[in-house]
């Protein structure tokens, strides 16, 4: 990189935060876009630098440009800030997720020294305890899946190219999804960008296990949470930061909220912990209740979303008429299985569980079925080689529970 450059959002090893973009005063008539970018002069002399922020629409057209100028001393780190106005903005909806990009540039005279591109989706949202989720003033029931970031593909494990990850996203979109909860650590950069592209409201954790943590383990967790906030805070698909997979102590909640306040002060995102309802210390700190398996309404004054409904398991049994379904029901260990159901009953339970736990409840924002794809991430049936709670199997072949939905708009049909 040029000695004068915009820093990267890599706090862990570089202690830098990069760009931060947020929108205010959003309406169908206009939106104010605030852009900040941390820059550093690592040269041996002072530099007169012009900072430029361009907002570019989905067609590549420059919508608006703002500039700022500053003399950067040798070794100085400085955060440039500008305000842009976008007239008649295209808003980001779950079923029409319009994306802009912000290109920030450092120039010395007319010479471009460095530039960085940041995603921008302009949207308002509200999670309401009585009426659920609203996106740009419109009601939207959330329906989707939990998914492991590894999401192992048979024969590849987690070593998937980005186009294979997008293939999974296209399947979730085809099934009518508009929500994803990553468990129990953050999704990859490509997957979060696809959440922006395909309109998936995202519940995003840092990293967490199945318990409270102390000492070095907590230090690792809270540092990972901070690094995740810094890296992903510009993505419009992220609506909720998940502080952990379990309730925390009061001191830990304060640390979590302090990080959000420091590094995402204008994101307006909610924060919640799965199973926060098991500990009274949670109530003053969480702003949304994250339910599990229908466990809900512990905090009636908070909005509610489901993180893991229907964890039953039913593998994809029959491939064609030449593969008889006789390797499950006659297995000598079937009595040890937690779930002794076929894939047809599994599909019926998916529908019933969704409707009973959240679909028929107007106050419920919706939630995530656990999980979308089968994989080696903790099965409850010793007769199986995978956890078989997905809508698709490990190579993304559709199971009986997969229900295609009508797609809306050209955006949903593109595969790049």
- Catalytic residue positions, numbered: 308
Residue listed under structure tokens 């809508």 = 391
Q: 234 phi and psi, to 5 degrees?
A: -90, -5
What are the tokens at 264? 């995402």
Measured CA to CA, the distance from residue 238 to residue 244 in angstroms comes to 16
- Contact (CB, 8 A) for 70 and 77: no
Report residue 11 as tokens. 């706090």
Q: What crossing angle do the helices spanning 215-232 and 250-263 adopt, rounded to 10°? A: 20
Task: Extract the tokens encoding 14.
Answer: 């570089």
First-last CA distance in the chain: 28
Q: Which residues contact 13 (CB under 8 A, 6 or more apart)?
A: none
Torsion on CA atoms 155, 156, 157, 161, rounded to nearest 10: -160
CA distances from 135 to 10, 122, 150, 232, 310 (A): 30, 11, 29, 20, 26
DSSP assignment of 27-39 equals -SSEEEEEEEEEE
Per DSSP, the three-state class of 406 is coil
Task: Give me 324's structure tokens.
Answer: 């008889």
The neighbouring-strand residues paired with 40 are 5, 77
Coil, helix or strand at residue 181: strand
194 exposure class (CB count in 10 Å sphere: 0-12, 13-18, 19+): buried
């Amino acid at each position: 990189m040029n000695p004068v450059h915009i820093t990267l959002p890599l706090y862990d090893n570089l202690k830098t935060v990069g760009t931060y973009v947020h929108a205010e005063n959003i309406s169908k008539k206009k939106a104010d876009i605030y852009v900040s970018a941390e820059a550093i002069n690592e040269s041996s002399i002072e530099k007169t630098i012009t900072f430029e922020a361009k907002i570019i629409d989905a067609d590549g057209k420059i919508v608006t440009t703002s500039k700022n100028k500053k003399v950067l001393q040798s070794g100085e780190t400085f955060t440039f800030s500008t305000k842009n106005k976008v007239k008649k903005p295209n808003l980001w909806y779950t079923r029409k997720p319009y994306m802009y990009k912000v290109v920030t540039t450092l120039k010395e005279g007319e010479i471009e020294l460095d530039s960085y591109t940041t995603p921008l989706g302009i949207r308002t949202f509200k999670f309401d305890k009585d009426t659920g989720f609203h996106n740009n003033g419109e009601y939207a029931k959330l329906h989707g899946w939990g998914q492991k970031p590894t999401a192992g593909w048979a024969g590849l494990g987690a070593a998937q190219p980005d186009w294979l990850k997008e293939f999974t996203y296209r399947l979730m979109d085809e099934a009518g999804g508009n929500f994803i909860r990553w468990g129990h650590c953050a999704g990859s950069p490509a997957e979060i960008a696809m959440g922006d592209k395909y309109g998936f409201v995202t519940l995003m954790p840092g990293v967490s296990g199945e318990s409270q943590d102390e000492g070095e383990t907590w230090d690792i967790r809270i540092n990972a949470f901070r690094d995740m906030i810094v890296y992903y805070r510009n993505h419009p698909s992220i609506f909720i930061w998940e502080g952990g997979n379990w309730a925390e102590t009061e001191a830990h909640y304060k640390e979590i909220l302090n990080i959000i306040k420091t590094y995402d002060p204008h994101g307006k995102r909610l924060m919640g912990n799965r199973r926060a309802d098991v500990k009274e210390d949670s109530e003053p700190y969480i702003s949304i209740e994250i339910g599990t398996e229908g466990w809900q309404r512990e905090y009636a004054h908070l909005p509610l979303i489901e993180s893991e409904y229907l964890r039953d398991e039913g593998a994809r049994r029959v491939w064609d008429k030449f593969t008889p379904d006789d390797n499950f029901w006659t297995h000598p260990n079937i009595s040890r299985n937690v779930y002794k159901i076929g894939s047809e009953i599994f599909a019926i339970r998916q529908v019933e569980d969704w409707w009973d736990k959240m679909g028929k409840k107007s106050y419920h924002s919706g939630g995530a079925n656990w999980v979308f794809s089968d994989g080696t991430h903790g099965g409850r049936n010793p007769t199986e080689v995978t956890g078989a709670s997905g809508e698709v199997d490990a190579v993304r072949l559709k199971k009986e529970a997969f229900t295609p939905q009508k797609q809306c708009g050209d955006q949903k049909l593109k595969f790049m």
